[in-house]
Amino acid sequence: MLNYKVQGNGLTCLVLLHGFCENNTCFDEQVLLFKDHCKVLVPDLPGFGKSGVEPNITMAAMAREVKYLLDTLQIETCVMLGHSMGGYVCLEFAHQFPQKLKGLGLIHSTALADTEERKAKRDQVVQFIRSHGKEAYIMNFIPGLFKENNRQEAYVAKAIQEAIAGPEEGIIAAALGMKERLEHRALLVQTELPVFFGIGAYDELIPKEAMLNLASLCQQAEICLLENSGHMALQEEPVVLAKAILNYLSNFKLL
């Protein structure tokens, strides 16, 4: 079973799914604000943090692992938000288990599948890690996720340390799993659930225009544009993001 942390004891369970090369500590600042309003469940996805590596893992299989965790903890319904790769898992969860959700959210994430160019880059990442090791990859990869003006902040060094602490094979398995994920634009069109979008104004990985286009597909959406963030608002603007999520939960009566 996935490693996880739980804080708070509200009626609503808020599940937060971390991104690629992260673990459940990436939400620590948000959890401090959420725990007085709801029960917050933050798992380590397979191959990250203290959860074991699963070879040939897919986003669909990660979603099933999260479902098993919820069932084990006897959590009937939840609101689920995912950062980057965690957003892919969140969408796959919504695809497989829509009855378990009261709301969902994408933070610097997309419902689009990888393009052929992006798939080729995933393969290059795997080849680089196998040739040069995870540390060389992470030292190059992580800083570019942040807005350029923020890259000297202490939280960037912490993100690098957390990523290096994870198992190399977990990173490789997740990179290959993201490469094969399905597109879920149709889900955004069809779902009646309210969808939260956390969008970085300076996100070089998931541009704001792409996320705004996805938000326009939804029947119900709430958008938070993070004006001082790249791809990592969890660290770059943690309080702004947390307050926006609380507003979303309140506005749609999810608390």
> DSSP per residue over the chain, as a string?
---EEEE---SSEEEEE--TT--GGGGHHHHHHHTTTSEEEEEPPTTSTTSPP-TT--HHHHHHHHHHHHHHTT---EEEEEETHHHHHHHHHHHH-GGGEEEEEEES--SSPPPHHHHHHHHHHHHHHHHH-HHHHHHHHTGGGS-GGGTTSHHHHHHHHHHHHS-HHHHHHHHHHHHTPPP-HHHHHH--S-EEEEEETT-SSS-HHHHHHHHTT-SSEEEEEETT-SS-HHHHSHHHHHHHHHHHHHHTT--
User: For residue 8, what are its two tokens?
Assistant: 């708070």
State the pTM of this model. Answer: 0.98
Question: What does the alpha-carbon distance between residue 242 and residue 80 come to, in Å, rounded to a whole number?
Answer: 14
Contact 188, 104 (CB under 8 A): no
Question: What does the alpha-carbon distance between residue 6 and residue 24 come to, in Å, rounded to a whole number?
Answer: 11
DSSP state letters, 171-236: HHHHHHHHHTPPP-HHHHHH--S-EEEEEETT-SSS-HHHHHHHHTT-SSEEEEEETT-SS-HHHH
Contact 162, 23 (CB under 8 A): yes
The domain ranges of the chain are 4-251
pLDDT of residue 91: 98
Q: How long is the chain?
A: 255
pLDDT of residue 48: 98
Q: Name residues of the chain where pLDDT drops below 70.
A: none
List the one residue out of 218, 214, 156, 161 whose CA is nearest residue 183. Answer: 214
Q: Which CATH class is domain 4-251?
A: alpha beta
Beta carbons within 8 Å of 155's beta carbon, 6+ residues apart = 235, 236
